[in-house]
Structure 1
């Protein structure tokens, strides 16, 4: 599955637009992560527990996006973006979204 943040894929033509597609993940930081993050926030610097959680959540959201696009019959997603939001004080939502399309085969 080709996933790009651009409107086009170089050398390929969009044959069919399947529609919007997304993958959503909601993660709770958990008490252990919150405790360590709270301690790190006192001294400053990167909070590795949150960074790791968000990187993993983005990967899962992208995997779900690809799964949903495949189910729609697409072979690519164009204009892919990530969005995130906080839910309460302990959860983060990560959304990967874009447009599912069918690309023509590459020219030989």
Structure 2
């Protein structure tokens, strides 16, 4: 599955727009991770526990996006974007979204 943040895919043209597609992940760090992150925030710098959690959540959101696009019969997802939000001060929601399309190779 081709997933791009652009409107076009080099060497192809969009032959059919199938509609909006998305993948959603909600993650929460355990109490240990929150304690370590809290201690690191006092000192300053990157909080590696949260960085790793969000990187993994983005990968899972894209995997779910691709699964949903595949179920729609798409060849690609164009204009893919991420959105995120905090929920209940302990959870992060990551959404990957875009437009599922059918492609046709340019000759």
The TM-score range, normalised by the shorter chain, is: over 0.9
State how many pairs are aligned: 107
- Flag as ranges the 4+ runs of structure 1 deviating above 3 A: none
**Gap regions ≥5 residues in structure 1:** none
CA deviation after TM superposition for structure 1 residue 106, in Å: 5.1
Structure 2: distance between partners of 1:105 and 1:9: 10
Equivalent positions of 1:1-108 (< 5 A) are 1-105=1-105, 107=107
Structure 1: distance between partners of 2:72 and 2:78: 14
**Gap regions ≥5 residues in structure 2:** none
Structure 2: distance between partners of 1:40 and 1:106: 52
Aligned 8 A contact 1:30 1:90 in 2 = no
Structure with the largest fraction of strand: 2
What is the CA RMSD across the aligned residues, in angstroms?
0.8
In the superposition, the TM-score normalised over structure 2's length comes to: 0.97
Question: 1:15-74 CA deviation, whole Å, 9 max, x = no partner?
Answer: 110000000000011101100000000100000000000000000000000000000000
In the superposition, the TM-score normalised over structure 1's length comes to: 0.97
